[in-house]
């Protein structure tokens, strides 16, 4: 098996190792329609490595070997393979460098996940049935439902565990010791089991690197929760990720408060007030638009003078326009159409009680490239064109 240096010293970022094998592989990149573009890569096996591979729901470490970027790290039958672009001679001694910033970030996220999973399992008996850790997000799936208040209490308790700065212990129990141990595990494990223990909080089988103490996690924040396969999926942020999230949200609330000339703690109240005022103004505007639209309808040629009613307007209230079209179809024998907007982009509704609106829809598509849909009684969509070009299609 490959010697796993990340277990011997979690802080090891520079190491030397010997090339055991280096095999050429070809991976397809891009879509088939792009011509089945293929990229030659090399599958490098070393006698030892400090690169943690993709395993247990966690993405692999990144870094370099002799200056080459390590594109991926995978483990198969206790052998750890590194994907690189250029080959290395078998027997050569190489030097690896693991990106510590990502390693420590992943350690913070994974250790934080153990704290939350341990608390949830102890308090509610739920199991962590899914875990994903990447550079973008950390998600955790549980086989039970949690309320907003429960999640708030869980989050607070998790951060209290951080403040206690408890040791995170790694052990390799014997078979007899393991059989007497009450620990969490998502899968059946053959061979030696690695146990990660946070005293009084969690005992779990895990292969990943962890922080040495809970205090090194820094902070745990549950940022979202949603239903997932009869349970709940949590998205969390730990350590620097949580701090950066706070920076961004603090900047946002500061900007909002400043724009409304209120204190930060008054921003939500001010926003609700602004939303209520805006809704009132919108209702007033819609009422006025309906009145203006009614006046415009009265100015149309009388039904005795024209079978069709075609109106162009700046009014944007879709409900008022639809109601107006319905009103017109009771007066005119032909198509009743209202176009709202400008020549570059009109939104329109066309209705008729006596003609098939699908036919005018086809004319609008063929003649002006309109995008529309509906049925025989009414269609709606968008189109660009001059008024005279559009009007001509109705005659």
Give pLDDT < 50 ranges for the chain. Answer: 29-35
What pLDDT does residue 36 have? 55
CA distance 227 to 109: 22
Q: Residue 37: its pLDDT value, please?
A: 58
Strand, coil or helix: 366: helix
CB atoms within 10 A of CB 370: 22
What's residue 9's pLDDT?
Answer: 93
- CA atoms of 143 and 230, how far apart (whole Å): 7
CB contact set of 300 (below 8 Å; sequence gap of 6+): 306, 309, 311, 328
CB 350 within 8 A of CB 373: no
Contact predicate 113/137, CB 8 Å = no
DSSP 334-356: S-EEEEEEETTEEEEEEE-SSS-
Residues in the chain: 395
Q: How far is CA 146 from CA 114, 123, 174, 360, in A?
A: 17, 11, 36, 54
Query: Which residues, including other chains, have CB under 8 Å from residue 133's CB and lie 6 or more apart?
Result: 57, 58, 59, 106, 109, 110, 113
Please, are residues 383 and 338 in contact by the beta-carbon 8 Å criterion? no
The whole-number pLDDT of residue 142 equals: 96
Complete DSSP assignment for 101-121:
HHHHHHHHHHHHHHHHHHHHH
Give yes or no for a contact between 360 and 326, defined as CB atoms under 8 angstroms apart: no
What's the pLDDT score for residue 179? 85
End-to-end CA distance of the chain: 82
Q: Pairing between strand 79-84 and 72-76?
A: antiparallel
Contact indicator for 17, 92 with CB cutoff of 8 Å: no
Please give the helix or strand (H or E) that residue 297 lies within, else none: helix 267-298
Q: How far apart are CA 347 and CA 384, in angstroms?
A: 9
Q: Which domains does the chain have, with CATH numbers?
A: 3-98 (2.40.30.130), 103-248 (3.30.980.10), 291-392 (3.10.310.40)
Full strand arrangement of the beta sheet holding 231-238: 128-133, 138-142, 231-238, 220-228
pLDDT, residue 268, reads: 87
């Amino acid at each position: 098996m490959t010697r796993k240096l990340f277990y011997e010293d979690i802080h090891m970022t520079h190491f030397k190792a010997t090339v055991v094998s280096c095999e050429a592989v070809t991976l397809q990149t891009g879509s088939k329609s792009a011509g089945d573009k293929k990229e030659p890569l090399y599958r490098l096996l070393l006698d030892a490595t400090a690169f943690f591979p993709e395993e247990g729901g966690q993405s692999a470490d990144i870094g370099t070997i002799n200056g080459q970027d390590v594109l991926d790290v995978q483990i198969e039958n206790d052998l750890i393979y590194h994907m690189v672009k250029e080959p290395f001679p078998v027997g050569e001694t190489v030097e690896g460098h693991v990106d510590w910033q990502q390693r420590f970030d992943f350690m913070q996220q994974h250790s934080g996940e153990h704290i939350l999973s341990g608390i949830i399992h102890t308090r509610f008996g739920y199991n962590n049935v899914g875990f994903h850790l990447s550079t973008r997000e950390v998600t955790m799936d549980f086989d039970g439902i949690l309320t907003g208040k429960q999640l708030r209490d869980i989050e607070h308790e998790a951060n209290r565990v951080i403040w206690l700065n408890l040791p995170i212990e790694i052990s390799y129990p014997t078979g007899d010791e393991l059989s007497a141990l009450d620990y969490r595990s998502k899968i059946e494990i053959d061979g030696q089991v690695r146990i990660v223990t946070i005293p009084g909080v969690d005992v779990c089988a895990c292969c990943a690197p962890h922080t040495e103490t809970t205090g090194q996690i820094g902070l745990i924040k549950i940022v979202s929760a949603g239903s997932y396969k009869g349970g709940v999926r949590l998205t969390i942020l730990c350590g620097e990720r949580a701090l950066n999230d706070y920076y961004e949200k603090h900047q946002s609330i500061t900007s909002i408060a400043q724009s409304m000339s209120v204190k930060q703690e008054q921003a939500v109240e001010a926003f609700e007030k602004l939303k209520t005022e805006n809704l009132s103004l919108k209702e007033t505007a819609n009422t006025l638009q309906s009145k203006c639209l009614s006046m415009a309808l009265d100015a149309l040629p009388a039904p005795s003078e024209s079978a069709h009613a075609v109106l162009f307007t700046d009014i944007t209230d879709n409900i008022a326009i639809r109601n107006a079209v319905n009103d017109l179809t009771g007066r005119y024998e032909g198509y009743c159409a209202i176009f709202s907007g400008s020549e570059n982009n009109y939104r329109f509704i066309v209705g008729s009680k006596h003609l098939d609106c699908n036919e005018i829809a086809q004319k609008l598509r063929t003649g002006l490239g309109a995008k529309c849909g509906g049925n025989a009684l009414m269609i709606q969509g968008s189109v660009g064109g001059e008024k005279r070009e559009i009007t001509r299609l109705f005659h």
